[in-house]
Amino acid sequence: MYFIFALISLSTFAHTLSHYPDAPLEIIKVGHPTLRLTAESVSTQEIESEEFQKLIDDLIITMKDASGVGLAAPQVNISKRLFVMKPSMFKKAEAIINPVVEYLVDYGTKISTEGCLSIPGKQFKVERYKKLHIHYQDRKGDDRFEKASGFRAVVIQHEYDHLNGNLISDIFLKSLNLEDDFEFVVPRM
Ligand code: ZN
């Protein structure tokens, strides 16, 4: 009798623990067309929906499972203006929805070495603004404003780029001035 009871309570406990057994969402990789779209805004009504709240939770689980500090909805093939981030190990993961970022150019830029969960195994040196302002909605749909700097500002810029179809590999190529700089000669047959 005791044995059966113990078995039942153990399985209940295990079920609670494995509510999210693995990363529930698949991260798409560079070359996938969704990564190139300008993501769509989200209505406050949609933010409040059960489905959207679950999407936020799933994104956070997927980000943590992949040891990332940020993950944008387009990276799981959902072209919406939403990303999650956890730039500090001492703070909870946050959802940033419908962000509008204003770069504070007067504070200058710095070079940041970044990886991306959609470009596995590669790192790129990219130029980032040191400070920025961001307006966004949190997961309750409330309007927020903040001035960000340091690593937090870097993560915001990386994820914000995803919402506009940009990847760190693009910024890297731009920094080499590889765009439209060459005259091609048609090979002679
Ligand atoms: Zn990325």
Is residue 177 classed as helix, strand or coil in its secondary structure?
Answer: coil
Active-site residue, 159 included: yes
Tens-place pLDDT, residues 61-73: 999 999 999 999 9
Q: How many domains does the chain have?
A: 1
**pTM (predicted TM-score):** 0.81
Nearest alpha carbon to residue 84 among 22, 163, 145: 163
The residue from 40, 48, 159, 179 that is catalytic is 159
pLDDT digits (tens, 9 = 90+) for 5-25: 444 444 444 444 444 445 589
17 within domain boundaries: no
Establish if 92 belongs to a structural domain.
Answer: yes
Q: Does 39 score more than 80 pLDDT?
A: yes
Q: Which of 88-97, 135-144, 177-186 bottoms out in mean pLDDT, i.e. has the lowest?
A: 177-186
| Residue at 6 is within a domain | no
Answer yes or no: is 189 within a domain: no
Least confident of 6-10, 87-91, 114-118: 6-10
Report whether 62 contacts 83 (CB < 8 A): no
Q: How far is the CA of 4 from the centre of ligand 1 (A)?
A: 48
On whether residue 187 sits in a domain, the answer given is no
Which structural domain, as residue segments, surrounds residue 113? 23-175
Average pLDDT over residues 122-144: 96
CATH number at residue 124: 3.90.45.10
| 140 alpha carbon – ligand 1 mean position (Å) | 25
**Cβ within 8 Å of residue 151, ≥6 positions away:** 87, 88
Is the pLDDT at 3 greater than 70, yes or no? no
181 lies in some domain? no
Strand partners, 112: 126
